[in-house]
Amino acid sequence: MRAFLAIDVPQEIQARLAAIQEQLRPVSASARWIAVESIHITLRFIGEVSEERREDIDTALGGLTWKPIPIVVRGVGFFPGARSPRVLWAGLEAATMEGLAKEIDSRLERAGFDREKRAFRAHLTLARARGTRLDGEIVTAATEMAEMELGSFVADRFFLYQSTLKTRGAAYTKLKEYLL
């Protein structure tokens, strides 16, 4: 099974993100839009794991203590940047989230999982390019949203998810809850 650890986004913020998607959808034929109910904050993508290794994840994260994380959702941008955009994202301000992601990665590495190779960048993915990059029209249209306030919440838990790839995108199933 494909697995990852993530924080859920409250419905009121999902609704604001859906409004941004609807505003930008007509200007881009190159975007593959993420279903709003699937938008989450990925703390750690784990990848393919067996059922036995799933227990190792639980053991590694057992006893993890972390304070709830205040999160502000603000603005949109692009990975790797506006000159060659492949991913449209909403930004996050969450002072201790990177530390939590590093602690999770460290615990999983001690349990025998590969270390995350990419630096953690807190964000919410809204769309991905269908081909090699998103078109310039979406970059232009998103400029006015660069600093838009989209809400705030406090994350007091995260989840182990199973990701099942389907023809219309991935379907996510919650397997375990971890309280902060």
Kindly list the catalytic residues.
40, 123
Helix (H) or strand (E) holding 61, with range, is helix 51-61
> Which runs of E-coded beta strand occur in the chain?
2-8, 31-33, 40-48, 69-79, 87-93, 123-129, 149-155, 157-166, 169-179
Look at the alpha carbons of 117, 91, 178, 168 in this order and tell me if their dihedral is positive or negative: negative
- Token code pair at residue 87: 């991913």
Strands 69-79 and 149-155, by their bridges, are antiparallel
